[in-house]
């Protein structure tokens, strides 16, 4: 999980991972130089599965690379500090990935605003990934 100034959302994001139906994981949280209370909120959560890393603000790519460098698991699931994962996300993704080699998984997302209200299908965010006519290469490039 990478985060930058996600104070209002970080506890719910962390909770959505810690409460997964699949629970054999490490949660690496890289705080990319937040200037709000993100740091304090992360440290308030006590769970042995969490590994917390703080760095100067270097951008999302740097934070993702830092998380990847510290990962010990066989699989890696990325998430931002303002996202919420469905309770069976890891189970479903593991089931799909476990019988394939070199798999990259991406799921459709439900977009919500800062209050948790689902954005309607007409919004730009809700239609961001609705492209059925792209090749695998085009999809990966777009992401």
C-alpha to C-alpha distance for 67 and 84, rounded to whole angstroms: 18
- The 10s digit of each residue's pLDDT in 99-113 is 877 777 777 777 788
Q: Which helix (H) or strand (E) holds 126?
A: none
The predicted pLDDT at position 92 comes to 93
Whether the CB-CB separation of 104 and 36 falls below 8 Å is answered with no
Instruction: End-to-end CA distance of the chain: give it in Å, rounded.
Output: 17
User: What integer is the mean pLDDT of 12-19?
Assistant: 97
Q: What is the reported pTM? A: 0.84
Q: Measured at the alpha carbon of residue 131, what is the angle toward residues 88 and 119, in degrees to the nearest 5?
A: 60
């Amino acid at each position: 999980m990478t985060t930058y100034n996600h104070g209002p959302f970080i506890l719910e994001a962390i909770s959505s991972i810690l409460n997964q139906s699949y629970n054999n994981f490490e949660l690496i949280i890289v705080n990319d130089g937040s200037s709000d209370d993100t740091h304090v909120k992360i440290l308030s959560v006590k769970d042995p599965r969490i590994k917390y890393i703080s760095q100067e603000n270097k951008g999302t790519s740097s934070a993702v690379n830092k998380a990847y460098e510290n990962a010990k698991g066989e699989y890696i699931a990325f998430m931002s500090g303002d996202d919420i994962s469905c309770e069976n996300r890891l189970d479903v993704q593991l089931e799909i990935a476990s019988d394939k080699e070199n798999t990259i998984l991406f799921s459709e997302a439900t977009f919500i605003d800062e209050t948790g209200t689902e954005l309607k299908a007409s919004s730009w965010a809700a239609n961001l990934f609705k492209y059925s006519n792209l090749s695998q290469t085009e999809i990966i490039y777009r992401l």
